[in-house]
């Protein structure tokens, strides 16, 4: 399923997991300091970034890109979330298994967006939650 980006060489055991945060709007430069904004996120592990996006089809909306290079968004910051014991092949299998729950035609800005995907995946990999400010506007929209 995934084939765009090849994992970087790293010894399995304790691989770092990062939450990469991107701005969706230049207004985030003002809102970020108040703890709100409109953000896109992706999970980086073994030199590959995984994210969730919308499309019109009942197939996975999970995709991979070069870390901190997601097209169409301005990179803001990378947050160390912890480590995983999964090796690169296990990560790939893990992402393929979880991607079936994130079809592109089920994407919703308030209830099922890229930040929800990252929250789910990050917790399963590291047992740590992503920062609340990343998806605060979706919570306000509920």
Concerning whether 116 is annotated as a catalytic residue, the answer is no
Query: Given 40, 70, 118, 122, which residue is catalytic?
Result: 40
Alpha carbon distance 72, 87 (integer Å): 30
Concerning whether 40 is annotated as a catalytic residue, the answer is yes
Query: Given 55, 98, 108, 114, which residue is catalytic?
Result: 114
Active-site residues, by number, are: 40, 114
């Amino acid at each position: 399923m995934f084939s765009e980006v090849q994992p970087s060489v790293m010894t399995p055991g304790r691989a770092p997991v990062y939450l990469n945060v991107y701005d969706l709007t230049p207004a985030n430069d003002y809102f970020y300091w108040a703890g709100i904004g409109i953000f896109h996120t992706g999970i980086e592990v073994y030199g590959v970034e995984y994210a969730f996006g919308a499309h019109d089809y009942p197939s996975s909306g999970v995709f991979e890109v070069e870390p901190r290079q997601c097209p169409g968004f301005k990179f803001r910051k990378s947050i160390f979330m912890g480590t995983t014991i999964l090796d690169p092949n296990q990560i790939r299998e893990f992402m393929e298994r979880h991607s079936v729950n994130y079809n592109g035609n089920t994407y919703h800005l308030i209830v099922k967006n890229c930040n929800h995907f990252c929250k789910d995946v990050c917790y399963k990999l590291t047992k740590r939650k992503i920062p609340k400010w990343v998806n605060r506007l979706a919570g306000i929209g509920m």
